[in-house]
Amino acid sequence: MAGVRFENVTKVFRQEETGKNVVAVNNLNLEIPDGRFTVLLGPSGCGKTTTLRLIAGLETPEEGEIYIGDRRVTRTHPKERNIAMVFQDYALYPHMNVYDNLAFGLRNLRFPKKEIDNRIKEVARMLHIEELLERTPRELSGGQRQRVALGRAIVRHPEVYLMDEPLSNLDAKLRAEVRIELLELQRKLGTTTVYVTHDQVEAMTLGDIIVVMNNGIVQQIGKARELYEKPANIFVARFIGSPPMNLIKAKIISQNGLKAIINGIPLRIPEEKWEKLENYLDKEVILGVRPEDIREANVEKEDYVTSTIDVIEYLGAEVLIHFHINDDKIIARTNSEIEVSKDRRWNVYFDMKKVCFFDTITENAIV
């Protein structure tokens, strides 16, 4: 096993249509710990797949160095990096049965026939595909093909697994099942795994560490809870969470302590947030609040802002309440036992202990 390290890595592509250079990965400094499940998360075009291909050796950076363990592999041929990659489209050989697909890489590396057979049987048991070894890919379901693709990577005993949106072709139910199996498998093998996805549920379920990327730049690195509760900037706040964090214009004032004015109403800010907000006195900020941290106010005891309910989404165990304050559209999540109706006036309470504040210019988190 081995960790992966990027030092000041930049990758540039030239667009044939425009003749312009596009920076896919911009001065990346990143350490992926040995034995951990690290997820690269972000929208299409953010640089996450390019980062994976740089580890694999399928792309070469213009600047910087890449290490696998203690080995510098920046310009090392892919077959010499001791990595295994699982692709989105499985990339199985259609004319070979499952056994031969699993054996193909080992045969190219000239492994003894007995060791190949032992490894394949071990992996087949692990992935519950023993009865599929004689079948060809066209005789398999999507979930079975995915297990074979995983098996082909596992059988090589690489130092690093690289996975490029491997579950995106599965239906929602099967994707959830395979996701749990994949997590259990990685825990059992303990091999460094780098997983690319645009699906935040996958990222937050699978990742020991999540690397959020946008425009080729790392926005934040952390565990799922940290990204959710303390986003580093507005991009992460919007990208993580479903529904995402609500962002509301506010102004910081001093009135028997710091308060945030929303729609003319001052809301008390907890003292532990005062120090970092003092430089924003009489300035506009963006207040961020998660949907579950909004509820109907007890008007006799709590600060509240009055609004009108626009839309109600009933989702079984919970309800999403859409409303607005000035031009800011807001979503609250509450349990389905709460009785609410469209066009009703609603007294809204924000849990100020859990809200975040962001700078309007840099969009970085203040506190």
**pLDDT tens over the chain, length 367 residues:** 699 999 999 999 988 888 899 999 999 999 999 999 999 999 999 999 999 999 999 999 999 999 999 999 999 999 899 999 998 888 899 999 999 999 999 999 899 999 999 999 999 998 889 999 999 999 999 889 988 999 999 999 999 999 999 888 888 888 888 888 889 989 999 999 999 999 999 999 999 999 999 999 999 999 999 999 999 999 999 999 999 999 999 999 999 999 999 999 999 999 999 999 999 999 999 999 999 999 999 999 999 999 999 999 999 989 999 999 988 999 999 988 777 788 788 999 999 999 999 999 999 999 9
Buried b (16+ CB within 10 A) or exposed e, 201-217: ebbbebbbbbbbbbebb
Contact assessment for residue 324 and residue 248, using Cβ atoms and an 8 Å cutoff = no
Q: Kindly tell me the burial class for residue 334, based on how many C-beta atoms sit within 10 Å of its own C-beta (0-12, 13-18, 19 or more).
A: middle
Contacts with 141 (C-beta within 8 Å, 6 or more apart), sequence order:
none
Integer Cα distance of 75 and 84 in angstroms: 17
Structure tokens at 113: 């026939």
**Can you give the pTM of this predicted structure?**
0.93
* Rounded (to 5) percent helix, strand, coil in the chain: 30, 35, 35
The CATH number fitting domain 246-359, selected from 3.50.50.60, 2.40.50.140, 2.60.40.1120, 3.50.30.30: 2.40.50.140
The CATH number fitting domain 4-239, selected from 3.10.20.740, 3.40.50.1220, 3.40.50.300, 1.10.10.10: 3.40.50.300
Considering only CA atoms, give the Rg of the chain.
25
Contact assessment for residue 348 and residue 338, using Cβ atoms and an 8 Å cutoff = no
In the chain, where are the structural domains located?
Answer: 4-239, 246-359
Which own/partner pairs from 291-294 qualify as long-range (CB within 8 Å, at least 24 positions apart)?
291/241, 291/243, 291/246, 291/320, 291/331, 291/332, 291/333, 292/332, 292/333, 292/334, 293/350, 293/351, 293/354, 293/355, 294/246, 294/330, 294/332, 294/333, 294/334, 294/348, 294/349, 294/350, 294/351
